[in-house]
């Protein structure tokens, strides 16, 4: 569970959520007129230094009950969006990921090259740009 949460933090599949302002507002001193297209970025929010310790480090245990780093703000961890249009498939997505990983990890040891860093493109939804070269080594039955 923590590994999936941390993966969704570092590589949110939906990096930017489009919205439109319904009335004029001001954010950080910028005036935003009514009826303006804006983007809300989970990707950026997930790397804010003031909310996450070492945001560029893969650290699943930041989601453990003892540390619960993601609970400082209601909209701090938002790979599934937030508010009234929050993803309705989030529990289904979690179950799917766990089932697929369970079957893969039961049969294979999965390796990347030592020091491998995944190049990726967050638009339109996040994907590795190099085809994700991994080795699947079958485990003995
Ligand atoms: C890891 C997998 C998934 C991610 C990261 C994800 C992400 C999101 C995000 C960010 C939104 C909010 C969009 C917005 O506010 O404009 C959303 C909405 C939605 N998602 Fe997902 N989703 C995932 C899986 C699924 C699955 C498996 C289903 C259905 C089986 C699903 C169905 C929906 C629907 C219907 C909405 C629209 C809800 C509404 O507008 O009220 N999602 N999703």
Sequence length of the chain is 141
Q: Is the CB of 88 under 6 A from ligand 1?
A: yes
CB 38 within 8 A of CB 91: no
CB 37 within 8 A of CB 18: yes
Of 1.10.630.10, 3.30.300.30, 1.10.357.10, 2.60.40.10, which CATH number belongs to 2-138? 1.10.630.10
Give percent above pLDDT 90 in the chain.
Answer: 91
The residue extents of the domains of the chain are 2-138
pLDDT at 29: 95
Residue 64 Cα to ligand 1 midpoint, Å, equals: 24
Q: Is the CB of 93 under 6 A from ligand 1?
A: yes
Q: Is the CB of 38 under 6 A from ligand 1?
A: no
Indicate the pLDDT class of residue 101, thresholds 50, 70 and 90. very high
Give percent above pLDDT 70 in the chain.
Answer: 100
Q: Is the CB of 13 under 6 A from ligand 1?
A: yes
């Amino acid at each position: 569970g923590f590994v999936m949460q941390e993966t969704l933090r570092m590589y949110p599949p939906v990096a930017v959520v489009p919205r439109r302002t319904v009335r004029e507002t001001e954010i950080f001193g910028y005036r935003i007129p009514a009826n303006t297209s804006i983007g809300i970025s989970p990707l950026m929010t997930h790397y804010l230094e003031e909310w996450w310790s070492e945001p560029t480090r893969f650290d699943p245990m930041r989601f453990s009950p003892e540390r619960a780093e993601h609970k400082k703000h209601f909209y701090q961890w938002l790979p599934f969006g937030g508010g009234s249009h929050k993803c309705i498939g989030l529990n289904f997505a979690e179950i799917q990921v766990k089932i697929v990983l369970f079957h893969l990890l039961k049969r294979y040891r999965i390796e990347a090259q030592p020091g491998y860093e995944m190049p990726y493109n967050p638009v339109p939804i996040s994907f590795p740009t190099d085809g994700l070269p991994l080795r699947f080594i079958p485990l003995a039955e």
